[in-house]
Amino acid sequence: MTLGFRLTKYVRPRRLEEAIRLLAEEPKTTRVIAGGTDLLVAKPPEVKCLVDIADLDLAQIDIRDDESLGTTDEIHGPLSHSRILRLGATVTIADLEESQALHSDPCWTILSEAAASLGTPGVRNRATIGGNLCNASPAADLAVAALALGAAVEVAGPRGRRTVAVEDFFLGPRQTALAPGEIVTAILVPAWKNSLGTDSGNERYGASFFKLCRHQCSVDVATVNVAVALSLSAGRISRARIALGGVAETPVLSQSAASALNGNKPASDIVAAAASLAVTDTRPIDDIRASANYRRAMTAVLVRRALTEALRRCQL
Partner 1 sequence: MIRMTVNGRQYELEVQPHELLVDVLRQRLGLTGTKVGCREGECGACTVIMNGKPVLSCLILAVQAAGSDILTIEGLAASTDTTDLHPLQRAFIEEGAIQCGYCTPGMILAAKALLDKNPDPTEDQVRRSLAGNLCRCTGYEAPVKAVLAAAKNLRGWTAAAKETAGADNHAGREKA
Q: Would you tell me which residues interact with partner 1 (CB under 8 A)?
A: 1-2, 5-10, 12, 33, 35-37, 40-41, 50, 52, 54, 94, 119-123, 125-126, 216-219
Q: Are 255 and 150 in contact (CB under 8 A)?
A: no
Of 121 and 172, nearer to partner 1 (C-beta) is: 121
Contacts (Cβ under 8 Å, ≥6 apart) of 25: none
Strands 61-65 and 83-88: antiparallel
Backbone phi and psi for residue 203, each to the nearest 5 degrees, phi listed first? -90, 145
d(CA 39, CA 267): 44
d(CA 240, CA 206): 10
Find the shortest distance in angstroms from Cβ 114 to partner 1.
Answer: 16
Of 3 and 316, nearer to partner 1 (C-beta) is: 3
Of 218 and 308, nearer to partner 1 (C-beta) is: 218
d(CA 97, CA 112): 4
Of 84 and 221, nearer to partner 1 (C-beta) is: 221
Find the shortest distance in angstroms from Cβ 255 to partner 1.
Answer: 36
Closest CA to 110 of 205, 202, 197: 205
d(CA 65, CA 10): 38
Find the shortest distance in angstroms from Cβ 42 to partner 1.
Answer: 9
Find the shortest distance in angstroms from Cβ 249 to partner 1.
Answer: 24
Find the shortest distance in angstroms from Cβ 52 to partner 1.
Answer: 6
Of 119 and 266, nearer to partner 1 (C-beta) is: 119
Residue 104: DSSP 8-state = G
